[in-house]
Structure 1
Amino acid sequence: MASPVMIAAIFALFLASSTLASTDAPFIVAHKKATLNRLKSGAERVSVSIDIYNRGSSTAFDVSLSDDSWPQDTFDVVSGNTSQSWERLDAGGILSHSFELEAKVEGLFYGAPAVVKFRIPTKAAFQEAYSTPILPLDVLADRPPEKKFEWAKRLLARYGSLVSVVSIVVLFVYLVMSPSKSSSAKGSKKRR
């Protein structure tokens, strides 16, 4: 469940984006996600994806992404790179980048936001934007194995009676509203 601080931060971000989007400049918003994937060999991989949005009204040029928050003594890069660059990001556009890491050390990991640098034609200096931070990752932690269909059982236990009632009502409405084949056949015989 989202904390009140997180909700307030997201609300402030939307207010700022709507205010800044009215100016004639790019407004960069970056969203970073990380998910843990346990392999059968006991190793654990971290899949990281970063989406960069231009919510402004002009193009950002020489866009570069750098995510150096993954220490080399804790993670190995398995696929992709932790940095990427693009020539431009048009207004209303999106860029996506992903990479995968393999964890070497057990423990709780707090990742820092990724840094996005870009150039505005009216300014000589590069501008910086930061991605959203990720939630702490409990890397290589002992977790009980997930039981398949547990979530389905919980949903069925919680909402099963509601689904049954709605299904019966929908079936009843369908039967009342659809003409039966026997009455349409009788009607066609009487007309002859």
Structure 2
Amino acid sequence: MADKLVFFFSLLLLIAAVTADSPFIVAHKTATLKRLKSGVEQVLVNIDIYNEGSSTAYDVSLTDDSWPEDAFVLTNGKTSNSWERLDVGAVLSHSFELEAKVQGKFQGAPAVIKYRVPTKAALQEAYSTPIFPLDVLEDRPPENKLDFVKIAD
């Protein structure tokens, strides 16, 4: 019963946040693995930030520092970025690439998005979705590069 009550009040808070005259930030983080050659794997990270609220978010910043330096090397882009504003219904996208240094399972934390609402003094925070666990440099069977197609007579 208590779980249902907590869920109900959480839902009410969510509805109040969306219907109030303020930004409502939703962020989706994805990470995909790309095998370059044996023993070298790249992690491609993409974060999409949406404003589903009813007003513009200002001074939007993104930080994704969940990639430990002893396990990953940044090869392209930055793990953080900032924008002047995120209008209602708009989306911001940010991508970067890493190269894996060690083998193993990795679970990345959500990225942090901070933004300013004109009616509030303090910066607001939102979090992206977490990524699914990655099996970095996992031994995989070789892919068959040639697909044979039977041609009908």
Q: TM-score range by the shorter chain?
A: 0.7 to 0.9
1:42 to partner: Cα distance: 3.1
- Specify the alignment match of 1:142 in structure 2: 139
1:23 to partner: Cα distance: 1.2
Which of 123, 129, 133 is the aligned partner of 2:130? 133
| 1:42-57 alignment, distance < 5 Å | 42-57=39-54
| 1:66-81 alignment, distance < 5 Å | 66-81=63-78
| Secondary structure of the structure 2 residue equivalent to 1:124 | coil
Check the 8 A contact 1:61/1:89 in 2, yes or no: yes
Q: Compute the RMSD of aligned alpha carbons.
A: 2.4
1:41–1:149 distance in 2 versus 1, CA, 3 Å: closer
- Specify the alignment match of 1:90 in structure 2: 87
- Specify the alignment match of 2:26 in structure 1: 29
- Specify the alignment match of 1:62 in structure 2: 59
1:28 to partner: Cα distance: 0.1
TM-score (norm 2): 0.84
Q: For residue 24 of structure 1, what is the amino acid of its counterpart?
A: D
- Which structure carries more helix by proportion? 1
- Which structure carries more strand by proportion? 2
Between structure 1 and structure 2, the one with the greater Rg is: 1
| Secondary structure of the structure 1 residue equivalent to 2:37 | coil
- Specify the alignment match of 2:101 in structure 1: 104
Query: How many corresponding residue pairs?
Result: 141
1:145–1:14 distance in 2 versus 1, CA, 3 Å: farther
1:146–1:17 distance in 2 versus 1, CA, 3 Å: farther
TM-score (norm 1): 0.68
| Secondary structure of the structure 2 residue equivalent to 1:21 | helix
1:18 to partner: Cα distance: 5.4
Alignment partners' CA distance in 2, 1:135 and 1:15: 28
- Specify the alignment match of 1:119 in structure 2: 116
1:22 to partner: Cα distance: 1.7
Higher relative contact order (CA 8 A, sep 6+): 2
Unaligned runs of 5+ in 1: 1-12, 154-192
1:145 to partner: Cα distance: 1.5
Check the 8 A contact 1:27/1:55 in 2, yes or no: yes
Alignment partners' CA distance in 1, 2:85 and 2:103: 39
1:147–1:91 distance in 2 versus 1, CA, 3 Å: same
